[in-house]
Amino acid sequence: MSDVAMTAPRAPKLRAVGFGDVGEAVRRGLRDFARAPLYGLFFGGVYAIGGIAIYALLVVYSMPWMIIPIAIGFPLIGPFVAAGCYEVSRRLAAGQPLSWKAVLLTVFHQRERQMGWMAFVVLFILWVWVYQVRLLIALLMGFSASTNLDKFLVTVVSTPGGLTFLVVGSVVGLALALVLFATTVFAMPMLLDNEIDFVTAVITSVKGVLASPVTMLGWGVMVTALTILALAPMFLGLLVVLPVLGHATWHLYAMAATPKD
């Protein structure tokens, strides 16, 4: 038993990061995207196609108004989709050769590792977010307000129930986003980098965020804002934004996991 405990992989101890580290991570993310643009465009394209498919389903089922909560929640699954970008950055930093086979096999292999459980956590919280939106709409505005996007927007900004929905929904959504961000921002790249269990990765990620809360909150706001802006031109902005942020997230994790001299 003691031999197993001694050889079991351990999660890295994450140090505090500053805004200078964030800026350096973004610069390295841009550099990695420029060095391997086809990989970034591929993974960004997968994310963009997923967004277009979700919107198409909402239109087919006459729920186009749901694009608003989906757009807000959509960036939350970005870290999982960006796993391929993490692997590209890891290989570039380690001086290992890049190949589609190696990168895609690494991403595909994650289903057999702990990242599959992280995907479940992410999707569960996103599901809770969508259903709390539906519940608040039913309680505060009635389902008739959501028959089309124009009516929904008018009801939200011009009625007491709509304004209450906006405030309460924003508070609940912010709370869920903070929880999901803290539990995944370091955990996702950590699970790709280490053979550890997802609970340990989640706890370590939260500790890492709490070590530098202001910096990490700023990073989370920037990631969310850029991703939402990238949704505007029919999700096409994600072709560049997602891979750059994915590469940058890997480098921010790598810096946090490396003690300062």
- Mean pLDDT over the full length of the chain: 82
Within-domain flag for 7: no
Within-domain flag for 5: no
Q: How far is CA 228 from the centre of its chain?
A: 12
Within-domain flag for 10: no
Res. 195: pLDDT tops 50: yes
Tell the residue number behind the tokens 């956590």, with chain if given. 121
Res. 53: pLDDT tops 80: no
- Residue 202 CA to residue 208 CA, distance in Å, equals 10
Res. 261: pLDDT tops 60: no
Burial of 53: CB neighbours in 10 Å, binned 0-12, 13-18, 19+: exposed
Within-domain flag for 29: yes
Give which of 180, 190, 252 is closest to 17, Cα–Cα: 252
- Residue 124 CA to residue 209 CA, distance in Å, equals 21
How many distinct structural domains can be found in the chain? 1
Lowest mean pLDDT among 17-26, 81-90, 106-115, 158-167: 106-115
Note the pLDDT of residue 112.
Answer: 67
Residue 197: domain span: 16-255
Tokens of 116: 């599959």
Within-domain flag for 6: no
Q: What is the pTM of this model?
A: 0.82
Which of 48-52, 142-146, 203-207, 220-224 has the largest mean confidence?
203-207
pLDDT in tens, 116-167: 777 777 777 777 877 777 788 778 777 666 556 667 777 777 888 878 888 8
